[in-house]
Amino acid sequence: MKTLITCLCLVAAAFIFAADNTPPSPEGTQVGRYQIAAGTLPGVQTAPGITTAPITTTMRIDTVTGRVWQLQAVPLIVQGTTIPVHTWIECNEINGQLYGKALESMQTK
């Protein structure tokens, strides 16, 4: 009996944690809640005078909560062959500086 209760608790915990990290589906009652934006990320400076090439990417934006996901190719190794699997990876802003600047630009004078 203890084994059954433990298994049920583990399954319930797995569902709770999986639901928290899953990007929302585009279905819903609000029209235009999720937006897809394609663009180019600037190159990153790896050393003085050395900058990586810009990266073309696709972003998914939740216009209600402000959450953003980036479409990335995650390598999956199958029988010794690497296959890219495209998946949405959530973006998290560091220190909130970009968000603060965006709010400042939207304020009317």
> Is 91 inside any structural domain?
yes
Contacts of 74 (CB under 8 A, 6+ apart): 84, 85, 86, 87, 89
Q: How many domains does the structure of the chain reveal?
A: 1
Domain that holds residue 67: 2-41+52-106
pLDDT digits (tens, 9 = 90+) for 2-24: 676 765 555 555 555 555 555 55
> Is 29 inside any structural domain?
yes
> Is 46 inside any structural domain?
no
pLDDT digits (tens, 9 = 90+) for 39-75: 887 777 677 778 788 888 899 988 888 888 889 888 9
Q: Which helix (H) or strand (E) holds 97?
A: helix 97-106
Cα distances (Å, whole numbers) of residue 85 to 8, 71, 74, 76: 31, 10, 5, 7
